[in-house]
A = this chain, B = another copy of it.
Amino acid sequence: MCELLGMSANVPTDICFSFSGLMQRGGGTGPHRDGWGIAFYEGKGLRSFHDPDPSCSSKIAQFISQNPIKSTLVVSHIRQANVGSVNLENTHPFSRELWGYIWTFAHNGQLDKEIFDWPLVHYFPVGSTDSEYAFCWIMDQLREEFPRRPTDSQLLCEFIHRCCEKLRTIGVFNMLLGESNYLFAYNTTKLWWIIRKAPFGEVTLKDCDVSVDFKHETSITDKVTVIATEPLTHDEKWQKIATGELATFKLADLVSQILPAT
């Protein structure tokens, strides 16, 4: 299993604080030694870092946690390999271009090997993971359904939800999917989120002895949503995304919430 971390903010925000907690889980407080990656959107551009080495001892991870990169949308992942060797091409997050946007994807869970028989037309995996294959399949489905980007984003959410529900039938599928504005978070087993906004207070990371008082770091209109496999802090009230739910965030706000058909 792996750990996911996502961020959606209404102003460019650095994720150093939450990332410091996550990187400890990569071989430090957690068993996820098989690489890590993080992707930061700046406008439609993407800045991404990948390392097949454990995040807790990675020089690039250390560089990122010391040199704030401000972004309104972040997708990050640390890996404990189950399918696919430990190498760069198997390191999440994965990216593909669709409709002139770079889409970025990270997955926690494991899918039945039948996924590798699902047909692909437009997008093909570079590595050998079930995760990248599932991502290519979602991108393929989106492209087939919408040759052009739909103007109604709710249509997009509903279609992505249907794809995720199909993937859930063959395994554990917790995912983060981003495209510069929208961050889609789908849960099968565990995925939590929190919105940080005024009044800000002091919070402490679970994974290392670091506290931050967001009062000194933010202005009163700032809003930052953080999504993670497990709550990262002690003193905040994290909300669980339901099993089979797709929660979609834009500039920190929860803009769509789709639950499974009952």
A contact residues vs B (CB 8 Å cutoff): 42-52, 59-60, 63, 67, 87-91, 96-97, 99-102, 122-127
Contact = CB atoms under 8 A, between A and B. Distances in A.
17 contacts: A43-B88, A44-B127, A45-B50, A45-B52, A45-B87, A45-B89, A45-B90, A45-B127, A46-B88, A47-B49, A47-B88, A59-B63, A60-B63, A60-B67, A63-B63, A96-B97, A100-B125
Contacts of A50: 45, 47
A189 to B, nearest CB: 28
Nearest to A50: B47
A14 to B, nearest CB: 14
Given A47-B49, A47-B88, A100-B124, 9 more contacts: A42-B89, A44-B89, A44-B126, A45-B127, A59-B67, A63-B63, A96-B97, A99-B124, A100-B125
A135 to B, nearest CB: 11
B42 A88 contact: yes
Contacts of A97: 96, 123-124, 126
Given A45-B50, A96-B97, A97-B96, A102 B87 contact: no
